[in-house]
C-alpha cells in the first residue's frame, strides 16, 4: 500500500467544493487545513485542499492520481 497525495485547487466558487466533495466520495481524506489566497494575476480568490488516499499501486510519475 502506498499513500497518494493530491492538492486540489480552483477559483473560490462552488466548483471547488464539488471537486473536494467528489474526491471525498471516492475515498480520499482531507489532509491539513484548506488554503485561501488572492490570485493577483487573474483578480480572483483561489482555494486549495490537500487530500490523501491509501492505494495498492506502485509509484510511477505516470500515475493519474485523480483516477485512483
Q: Indicate the domain borders of the chain.
A: 2-58
pLDDT, tens digit, for every residue of 31-43?
A: 999 999 999 999 9
Mean pLDDT of the chain: 94
pTM above 0.75, yes or no: yes
CATH architecture of 2-58: 2-Layer Sandwich (3.30)
pLDDT, tens digit, for every residue of 17-30?
A: 999 999 999 999 99
Question: According to the model, what pLDDT value does residue 24 have?
Answer: 97
Exposure string over 2-37, b if 16+ CB within 10 A, otherwise e = eebebebebeeeeebeebbeebeeeebeeeeeeeee
Sign of CA dihedral 24, 29, 17, 11: negative
For residue 32, is it left (φ>0), alpha (ψ between -120 and 50) or beta?
A: left
Amino acid at each position: 500500500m502506498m499513500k497518494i497525495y493530491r492538492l486540489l485547487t480552483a477559483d473560490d466558487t462552488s466548483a471547488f467544493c464539488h471537486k473536494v466533495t467528489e474526491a471525498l466520495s471516492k475515498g480520499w481524506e482531507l489532509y491539513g487545513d484548506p488554503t485561501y489566497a488572492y490570485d493577483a494575476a487573474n483578480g480572483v480568490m483561489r482555494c486549495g485542499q490537500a487530500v490523501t488516499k491509501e492505494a495498492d499501486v506502485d509509484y510511477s510519475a505516470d500515475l493519474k492520481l485523480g483516477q485512483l
